[in-house]
Structure 1
């Protein structure tokens, strides 16, 4: 749960440090500008708040790893993806998006700090502990931090612990480790299809290359 706080705080700080012109740059999410990604983070923060106040009595059905499902790369046809683009454009001024993320994001951060990690919560028709739910979101914050800075050379990246935890999760989902020669960031970018592997990387990946990309949803 501490790692949730560190990765979320780092991501919000990265958004706060954006210049106005950065919001119109492409993000690492295919088809989304930085402003669209930041709008998505507002929705994510709302989801965290909703989930943490949605208790469940049933036994957990997923954990921090199996919370993630593997799907197909986005095509742009998903109604929610299209809605986020329209919502982001409606903000018009970057400072409004920053303000909304800071407001809702800070509340989500406080809710996470106050949550009982053993409490069971319900989301997406699944039940898991609050601790596992927040651990799963370390992957969300880490990947989107990489997306945010994809076109911003020199920008601060996500915490090293978040990169390592996210890699571990991705390897469990893939059923195989990435080559030890891959830095955590490259393992995540290549593993989730955010960039294609080089010929040398593909050779090192071996059979694992046939399972990529791992699209988390």
Structure 2
């Protein structure tokens, strides 16, 4: 079984390296998140790393009510025309010094998350976004978030994507949500993109999935 902290260390390290490698000009190209540039996406990633740091320092006496899989049931792609998050992210990102400033803050914050994760046990319970889950499950959610957004970041750039191990975790979560294996012909990148609605299902996909095709996207 993959080590949750090891997976997150890989996901964060690779993503931070890619984000830091982008030029100022590359900060304004499209990404795999409709309407978002790397500047916007970088700020979103920074916010998520900050949330992770808070979560790892927020122990909970309550019993776990969320797992690494069902955490994602609340996250659906935005409806067409729903620009509220786009604009709030753009405004917030604009005061963080552009892409270089955001990338530097992400690097130090994500590194701090990894240190904090080393100081707790995998079965400790923590709270985030009103839910309680184990540290191991929290780290899985952070790995999945980082891997999917790493794919978004490089969608229109000549940069390496996420490593195989974090992408494998994305696939496991998607299959957990679907309740069955994803099509064997899908590589992990395809699984991540189609499973989250970033790439449409083909007619052959729909035929192979049958009634399960209606569950897509599994999260967004």
Could you state the TM-score of these two structures normalised by the residue count of structure 2? 0.90
2-side partners of 1:199 and 1:166: how far apart?
A: 23
| Structure 2 gap segments, 5+ residues each | none
Match of 1:91 among 75, 90, 96: 96
CA offsets, 1:23-52, max 9 Å, x none?
101111112111100000110010001101
Q: 2 CA distance for matches of 1:5 and 1:183?
A: 22
> Is the CA contact (8 Å cut-off) linking 2:38 and 2:99 kept in structure 1?
no
**Are residue 133 (structure 1) and residue 148 (structure 2) matched?**
no
The change in CA–CA distance for 1:74 and 1:55 in structure 2 (over 3 A counts) is same
The runs of 5 or more residues in structure 1 that have no matched partner are none
| Superposition deviation, residue 202 in structure 1 | 3.2
Q: Is the contact between residue 24 and residue 34 of structure 1 (CA under 8 Å) also seen in structure 2?
A: yes
- The separation in 2 between residues aligned to 1:80 and 1:54, in whole angstroms, is 26
Q: Once the two structures are superposed, what CA deviation does each residue of 1:42-98 show, in whole Å capped at 9, x if it has no partner?
A: 100100011011111111111211222245421363644432111122335321112
Q: Which residue of 1 aligns with 2:188?
A: 184
Q: Summarize deviations over 1:111-137 as a string: whole Å, max 9, x none.
A: 123222121111122111111111121
The range that moved more, 36-45 or 14-23, is 14-23
- Tell me, yes or no, if structure 1 residue 214 matches structure 2 residue 218: yes
Stretch deviating more after TM superposition (39-48 or 119-128)? 119-128
| C-alpha contact 2:39 2:98 (8 A) present in aligned 1 | no
> 1:46 & 1:117 partners in 2: Cα distance?
19
The answer to whether residue 93 in structure 2 is matched with residue 112 in structure 1 is no
Matched, 1:65 2:69: yes
Q: Secondary structure at the match of 1:90?
A: coil
TM superposition shift of 1:172: 0.8
Report the aligned-residue RMSD: 1.8
Structure-1-length-normalised TM-score: 0.91
Residue in 2 aligned with 1:164? 168
